[in-house]
Each structure stands twice: as C-alpha cells, then as structure tokens.
Amino acid sequence: MGKIIKHEFLKIFTSKLFLYTLIVFILANIVLLIYTQNIAKKDEIPYSAYKILNEEIKDLSELEKQELISKEYEKNNAFSIISNIVNNKNSDDAYIREFAETLKNENKELYDKYINEYPTGGYKYTGDEAKELAFLKEIKREYEECKNYKQIISEILEKAENLETISIFQEAQDDFSNKNIKDTAQSYEKMLDTELEFIPAKGINSFTKMGITDILIVLLIFVISTIIIYEEREKNLFPLIKSTKNGRGKTILAKIFVMFILIFAISLILYSINFIYYAITIGYGNLSANLQSINTFLYSTLPISIGGYIALFFITKIAVFFIISLIILLISNLAKNNVSNYMALILIFGISFLRIYNNRSNFKI
C-alpha cells in the first residue's frame, strides 16, 4: 500500500502539467485578488477605508469605539449638509437658494459646529465626500446592531413565544412546526449571555466569498484526477491490476488518499494566500471574539469564535472538494478514453453551473 501511495505521489509531482498548472493557478489567484480590489466601481468603498478603521479601533473599548464612530459619522454627515448648503446658496434659482437657507436653519447646530472645520476637514477613510458618508453609515449600522444584540435576541424569543402560544390554540396543530418553534427558541435563549465586540464585517466577508478560488481548486482536481488515471488507461493496466490480490482495492484507496492530501495542501495554499491578502488590505479584528460580533453572522447560533468559524469554513471546503474529487475519479475511471472523460466532466460541470446560476437568479431580491 505504501509503495502504491508513493508511486501515485511521484506520478503527480513529476508531471509538468500539474506543476505548471499549480504555479499558474496560484499566480492567477493572486492576480485576481489584486484585480478585484483595483476594479472597484466609483461608488464602492475602497479596502483601505476598512483597514484604517480596523487599525483605529483594535485597542479601543466598546465605549471608545462608539464614541469614535458617532463622532466621525456626525462630522461627515455635517460636511455633507454644509456642502449642500455651500453649493446651492448662490444658485440663480430662487427656489434652490431658499432650500439651502432652510437646510441651514434646520441643521444650525451642526452647521455652526463644523463650518470652520469643513474647508480643511478632509476624508481620512476614503478621500471622497460621498464614499466617506456611505462608509460611515455602513459602519454605524453594523455597530448599532452589534450593540443591540441582546435586544434583538430578546425580540426573537418573544416572537417565538407568541407563535408557540398561537399554535396551542390551532385546531390542527402541526407538531413539527411547534417543535421547530421550541428548538429555535432554545437555540437563541443560549445566546443571551453571548458577549460581542464590534468588528467590521468586510474582512471576513471578503475572505469567505472569494468564489474564484473554489473554481481554481476544482480545475486542479480535474487535472490531478486525469494524471492519476491516465497511465493505467493509456497502458491498459486496469485488467492487470484487477487480476492481482487486493490490487484493485489498494490502488483505488491509494489514489483516493493521494487525492485527499493534495486537495488539503492545495486548498491550504490558496486560502492562506487569500487570508493573508485580506489581512493586509482590510484586516479581521480580534479572531478570538464570538462569531456574532461579525454583522453577517449576527443571527447565527454557532457558539464559536471568528477564528473557529474560519477553521470550520476551511474544513467544510475540504469536505466538499473531496466529494467532488471522488465523483471526478469515478467518471475518469469509467470513461473508456481521455476524450470521453473530458466530455463527460465538461457536460456534468456545465449542467451543474447552469443549475447553480439559475438558482441564484431565482433567489435574487
């Protein structure tokens, strides 16, 4: 068994196709990471804004974070109002001039507080007035949801209690629905004591949603499976392997083992690159904080840290890729030649891609 595994590894690592493809895909992954950052649309907030904020708040208490966010939001909201007033007060249209004066009177306190700072205020996060305010609105919303976490959970429990009360008086009580309500309530009840610390969601969201990396890994799995099966098929060795004692079983197990190790190693390399890249360009905050500290996972009932979630995310990816690799190996093994192998795989993954695309279109809001 050990010799077979060694032979399979040598087969992969002496293949120029694998080595060149691996190098090209690693470089492609890095290029695409940089490309997705640099092609941000005019109205999109740059990664650097999140990086600056993460650096500012990393050593602050929750109260200090609140003060910083509130102050920056108030100031930039005031700048936006003042900009509107300044740009419209000298308009040729009397209605617009009246609007500017009304806006000034309605926001007199903010106007007087920040008018002297406005000309030299600057926009330290984005360098742009509109982006700065949009960024701070996003951060303020995330912070307020984090701050009000216990209240949000209490409201969920209250709704669950009301639904359970209603279900009791229904003539045709649905036992499954009633049990589901109770289970949901119990899950969220455990979350009442969960302590959160505000962490901007952008870093983790960007890391977990880099779908192009998944595509590159699947393509590499395709290349590996082709190399693993190619020699036996081309030299017609499968009948000979089957005729030996336990030859077929050991060979298949060796190929599966090698495939798993390679999937693990390749995924680790590519996702490590992604993790380091987003750590440098955006930042993640405190990875030991509870997962619910990230706004995206506010309603999650997983009792794990952000770092624990990243580990779980990686393990899940490995499991999915391994299942895909088994399917590819099965098709490669059953195919009579490489051409039919390629055609079958392209057809299967083409249909799968179309189904996924259609499902996403159907669920688009």
pLDDT in tens, 245-296: 555 567 778 888 999 999 999 999 999 999 999 999 999 989 999 999 999 9
Residue at token pair 């870093």: 203
pLDDT at site 117: 85
What are 303's two structure tokens?
């009792």
Among 163, 189, 215, the domain-final residue is 189
Distance CA 352, CA 186 (A): 37
For residues 85 and 65, membership in a common domain is answered with: yes
Q: What is the mean pLDDT of residues 95-99?
A: 86
Clarify whether residues 132 and 168 are in a common domain. Answer: no
Task: Supply the pLDDT for residue 345.
Answer: 59
Q: How many domains does the chain have?
A: 3
Mark whether 108 and 247 lie in a shared domain: no
Question: Is the pLDDT at 364 greater than 50, yes or no?
Answer: no
pLDDT of 242 > 60? The answer is: no
Alpha helices, H only, 169-305: 175-189, 202-208, 211-234, 238-243, 247-281
In the chain, at which residue ranges do the beta strands (DSSP E only) sit? none
Contact assessment for residue 329 and residue 225, using Cβ atoms and an 8 Å cutoff: yes
- Average pLDDT for 219-243: 68
48-57, 118-127, 253-262, 293-302: the lowest-pLDDT one: 118-127
Confidence of residue 329 (pLDDT cuts 50, 70, 90): confident
pLDDT band at 199 (very low <50, low <70, confident <90, very high): very high
Q: How many CB atoms lie within 10 A of CB 200?
A: 25
Answer with the one of 134, 164, 189 that is the final residue of a domain: 189
Residues 107 and 159 in one domain: no
Indicate if 131 and 153 belong to the same structural domain. Answer: no
Q: Looking at the structure, do residues 30 and 175 belong to the same domain, yes or no?
A: no
Q: Are residues 116 and 38 in the same domain?
A: no
Rounded distance between C-alpha atoms, residue 89 and residue 104, angstroms: 10
140 and 158 inside one domain: no
Q: What is the average pLDDT across 316-332?
A: 86
| Domain limits for position 260 | 2-43+197-362
> CB neighbours of 219 closer than 8 A, spacing ≥ 6?
21, 25
For residues 247 and 142, the model is more confident at: 142
Which range has the worst mean pLDDT, 91-95, 232-236, 360-364?
Answer: 360-364
Lowest average pLDDT, out of 177-181, 202-206, 242-246, 266-270, goes to 242-246
* 172 and 221 belong to one structural domain: no
**Confidence (pLDDT) at 209:** 87
Whether residue 292 is found in the same domain as residue 342: yes
Whether 304 and 203 map to the same domain: the answer is yes
- My answer on whether 176 and 266 are in the same domain is no
Our measurement of the distance from residue 43's CA atom to the centroid of its chain's CA atoms, rounded to an integer in Å, reads 21
